[in-house]
């Protein structure tokens, strides 16, 4: 059975450009795909919904 499932992005971090670069490096090192979106005052990082739990674990261990 084939189930059509959308890949949704979940926001995991928002911060200054240098903070976002540091967090992006951590997530990329854990083989998690990261998307960045430039908001007015910060950079928003999001990950695919299936990687959300792993991303939270990585960030909670580092910060």
**Average pLDDT, integer, range 30-58:** 93
Q: What angle do CA 18, 47, 1 make, to 5 degrees?
A: 170
**Average pLDDT, integer, range 46-62:** 91
The CA distance from 36 to 14, in Å, is 9
The CA distance from 36 to 40, in Å, is 13
Confidence grade of residue 56 (pLDDT, cut at 50, 70, 90): very high
Confidence grade of residue 24 (pLDDT, cut at 50, 70, 90): very high
Q: What is the average pLDDT value for the chain, to the nearest integer?
A: 88
Which residue ranges form the domains of the chain, and what is each CATH number? 10-62 (3.30.70.1530)
């Amino acid at each position: 059975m084939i189930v059509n499932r959308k890949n949704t992005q979940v926001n995991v971090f928002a911060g200054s450009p240098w903070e976002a670069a540091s967090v992006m490096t951590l997530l990329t090192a854990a083989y998690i795909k990261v998307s960045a979106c430039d908001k007015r005052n910060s950079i928003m990082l999001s990950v695919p919904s299936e990687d959300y739990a792993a991303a939270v674990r990585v960030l909670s261990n580092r910060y």
